[in-house]
A and B are shown apart, each in its own frame.
With several copies, the nearest count.
Chain A
Amino acid sequence: MTASGVVTEKPISRDLASTIRGRLQQFLAFGGLIVIFVFFSLASPDFLTFSNVTSMLFSTVVIGTLAIGTTFVIITAGIDLSIGTGMSLCAVMAGVFIVHWHIPLPIGVPLAILFGGVIGLINGFNVAILKIPPFIATLAMMLAAQGLALVISHSAPIYFDTVPAYAAISTGNLIPGVKFPNAVIVLAAVAIIAAIILNKTVLGRYTYSIGSNAEATALSGINVRKWQIIIYAFAGLFIGLASVLISARLGSAQPALGQGYELQAIAAVVIGGTSLFGGKGSILGTVIGALIISLLNNGLQIMSVPQEWQNVVLGAVILAAVYTDNIRRRKAAM
């Protein structure tokens, strides 16, 4: 065959260049985070201390875990509003399993996480099979979970103090001697695993495909319904995990805690560059998004900004961060 003129010359070197550029972009997105970090470090001497940075990371854990799970759902062009109250329900179930039924931790904790998977499974079923728009399906789940958490717990916190080992899941220090809470390590591990799944597995690939064009994906012979259910159920596991992390941190399952977390988690995902219209997104972005939010909250509190002003500043900084990120991306795309 002739006419090789159309085949691009040196595809490899060009490929490499674009890879480096992509890396650089992510690095720069990270840059926004770093700017804020440096600012606070200079602005307040209390900010850049080991214990404060640790506690900032610690406060990222719950939102971060929820956000990572939701990233999958949002990349499929879905949404999950049930993560906040779903987390309360899972925490209550963890309490029921572990405190009331005395199931040992090595079984009870996975059970609680799986319970999150069941919540996701139901969401997935409603979305994929009953064809309920994700917003409504998960809104309904949000309401139901909220109610059930109260019903099951009789509107009272369930305390884990009969099982002292439970708290160690979040607050213990795996690395002996260093006061670095386990929850942060768990978040890091989970982020890495999620990133691998999103980028290196069939599940991840189909997550992107479905979000890009569900119809084209279906016509390519992929069972979109089945995969949607799997993805929602998989994301649900993160609800369960978050519930364990938060209830271990607090030493109790708080049945009314959690509403509003969905918005924060979704915000982290979106700030991290994932599109609500599906097809685009990354775990690294989500983690950065979650860090930006908790960094800002922490920094503003550390700087003793009056609370009524904190939200004003938070809003403005989020806007500025995303705007500069936009400009950067447009520049990079030139």
Chain B
Amino acid sequence: GGSGSTGASGGKTPYIAIVSKGFSQQFWQAVKSGAESEAKKEGARITFEGPPTESDVEKQITMLTNALAKRPDAIGFAALDSRAAAPLMQQAKSANIPVIAFDSGVDSTVPVTTAATDNKAAAAEDAKHLSQLVGGKGVVGMVIHDQTSQTGTQRRDGFIDWMKTNAPGITLLPPQYSSSDLNKAADITKSIIAANQDLAGIYGSNEASAEGVAKGIQESGKKGVKAVGFDSGKAQIDAIKSGTLAGAITQNPIAIGQQVVVAAMKAIKGVQQPKFINTGYYWYDSTNINDPKIQAVLYQ
């Protein structure tokens, strides 16, 4: 790998290449905007890229390879499959390019630090709230955004595990997957409602799924189904305000983006930093949605 020396700090604007798990989804756009605003502040140049779907491991690896070829001063990386990226991590290390992992851990000692949310715990939080909302019993459906990706499986398993251990009265339906397609999520929700007239609650595991759940409930005209979601977004916030969605978990993607850049700049300057930065998550519903602290983490 002849990716020369970093040679960055010599007056040139530092360049940070960020390879995320996605690109066009709102969540990743919020991360991107956070990173961009921070970069502006710090006087750094960034690029932000991500594969079209969260299953496209190969595409991400290629993007990371290309990012390395540009000899950046630091790399921000949210691995879809951390083991697949291991050789590239080594390559970055040997080229003296510091790596900041974000959103999920990278199975490697290379990253200087990891800025991530515990998706499983966040999903468990959602499960806890939904269980309370339905009174600990009844049929609960799940619309999960992806079947194989880490965020998909963790948000599914975190939810299921919590329900299984803490809410014996709740019957979980098999999860259905929306491929992050809002339209499809709405159709799936309607099918779930049609097949389960006694449906008590339903969970959507990302923005598109949660919004689709809200749409589906609304279109089916079914009353009394409690729904909880994940992430934020305008339609989702509106649904929470109107009561179609009881509430949702949001992470703080803007802050994640900012932290990636902050950590990268520190790493470029050789400043020591903690191995793990918890980016946190928040439950929000109609009661606290106008709370400035919550408002700060919502993105539209």
Contacts and interface: CB of A to CB of B under 8 A. Distances in A.
A171 interface: yes
Contact of A307 (B50, B215, B235): B50
A52 B81 contact: no
A304 interface: yes
Interface in A148-171: 150, 155-157, 159, 161, 171
Given A155-B23, A155-B24, 16 more contacts: A51-B194, A58-B65, A59-B187, A155-B153, A156-B300, A249-B61, A250-B61, A254-B57, A260-B52, A260-B53, A298-B191, A302-B66, A304-B173, A304-B195, A307-B23, A307-B49
A182 interface: no
Contacts of A15: none
Given A49-B69, A156-B29, A251-B83, A307 B192 contact: no
A298 B56 CA distance: 16
22 contacts: A49-B69, A51-B2, A51-B69, A150-B148, A156-B29, A161-B238, A249-B61, A249-B186, A250-B57, A250-B183, A252-B57, A254-B81, A257-B56, A257-B57, A257-B58, A260-B52, A260-B56, A302-B195, A304-B195, A307-B175, A307-B177, A308-B147
Contacts of A306: 47, 174
B284 interface: no
B158 to A, nearest CB: 16
B70 A302 contact: yes
A212 interface: no
Given A59-B187, A297-B62, A256 B147 contact: yes
A298 B187 contact: yes
Contacts of B63: 301
- 6 closest Cβ pairs, A-B complex: A256-B24, A256-B55, A301-B191, A256-B148, A52-B194, A250-B84
Interface string B206-224: 0000010001000111000
A198 B300 CA distance: 44
B81 to A, nearest CB: 6
Contacts of A55: 62, 65-66, 69, 187, 190-191, 194, 219-220
B100 to A, nearest CB: 19
A179 B187 contact: no
Contact of A252 (B47, B56, B66, B235): B235
Interface string A242-286: 000010011110111101100000000000000000000000000
Nearest to A159: B234
A159 B239 CA distance: 13
B96 interface: no
A135 interface: no
A308 B26 CA distance: 14
A35 B15 CA distance: 29
